[in-house]
Amino acid sequence: MRLVDSHCHLNADRFDADVADVLEQARNTGLERILVPGWNVRSCDRALVLAGEHAWLDASVGVHPHDAAKVDDAGWQGIARAALESTVVAIGETGLDYDRVFSPIPDQLTNLRRNLRLALDTGKPAILHCRSSAGRRDGQDALLDELRAAGVGGSAWAAAFGERPPAVIHSFSGPVDYAQAVLDLGLAISFSGLVFRRGEEPSRDVASFVPPERLLVETDSPFLAPPGAPRSRNEPEWVRVTAAWVADARAVDPEALGPDLVGAYDRTFPRSRPRL
């Protein structure tokens, strides 16, 4: 099956020792694209190195909500410069985390706004993390407010992105009407192993109606192992489990879904350098 992993932290320390083996295994499983997102200064640097070393990998740079209060102005300026590199196809990951709140919420909001601004300025889509505590949706509702306040769906973003998604909801979590609202703003949605966890049941409905050209899958490795993957370290090859789940939710043959996933990836994350 043709596969992509739209969100895979090969830049995490846990992959330092054997990233070449992990990539070979991913290739053998059918993966054709992997996007390596940064979350702070160091991980953004590492994402750039990996995308420079492996022509089939893409990088993104930005600041995660967990690190919102930890990246200073000089660090942010470096990330904003790196965003212009040809290996960088997106901005993030950024977003809001109202579940763990490792950075105070006002700092998360300020950080989200600077990342969204960088996405608009570069024409590279924002990769958005959004989580609320179990049974709540305050993070998702706040994210929607922020997207609308930033003008997503309006003329400036349309001029920068055309028909392309201006942002991706990564590792989707939330209610059906929230998914509908982000799709109405033109966003893409990416599913991870999170969909198999208790409380994430609405994701199956959502997976059934995301337009194919805005439908992505990911592992969020080394996190969010789907059933069958080692809990200790998720790896890109396991995206096949989530892709099979998506195919089942859409009542389509997994083999037939593959070309759509690759097409959605290339449409969402176009790149200026050749893909080998």
Which residues here bind Zn ion, judged by CB under 5 A? Answer: 220
* Minimum distance, C-beta of residue 116 to Zn ion, in the bound complex (Å): 17
Angle at 87 between CA 10 and CA 153, to 5 degrees: 95
Q: Choose between 1 and 182: whose C-beta lies nearer to Zn ion.
A: 182
Q: Choose between 1 and 90: whose C-beta lies nearer to Zn ion.
A: 90
**235, 22 contact by CB (below 8 A):** yes
Closest of 189, 179, 164 to residue 269, by C-alpha: 164
Q: Choose between 43 and 87: whose C-beta lies nearer to Zn ion.
A: 43
Tokens for 156? 């400036």
* Minimum distance, C-beta of residue 34 to Zn ion, in the bound complex (Å): 13
* Minimum distance, C-beta of residue 194 to Zn ion, in the bound complex (Å): 11
Q: Choose between 62 and 250: whose C-beta lies nearer to Zn ion.
A: 62
* Minimum distance, C-beta of residue 250 to Zn ion, in the bound complex (Å): 24
Q: Choose between 67 and 220: whose C-beta lies nearer to Zn ion.
A: 220
Closest of 252, 264, 245, 257 to residue 1, by C-alpha: 257
* Minimum distance, C-beta of residue 136 to Zn ion, in the bound complex (Å): 21
* Minimum distance, C-beta of residue 220 to Zn ion, in the bound complex (Å): 5
* Minimum distance, C-beta of residue 158 to Zn ion, in the bound complex (Å): 27
**206, 187 contact by CB (below 8 A):** no
Q: Choose between 1 and 4: whose C-beta lies nearer to Zn ion.
A: 4
Distances (CA, A) of 255 to 2, 3, 75, 237, 252: 7, 10, 43, 16, 9
Write the single-letter amino acid at 252.
V
On the CB side of 8, CA atoms within 13 Å amount to 28
Q: Choose between 8 and 247: whose C-beta lies nearer to Zn ion.
A: 8
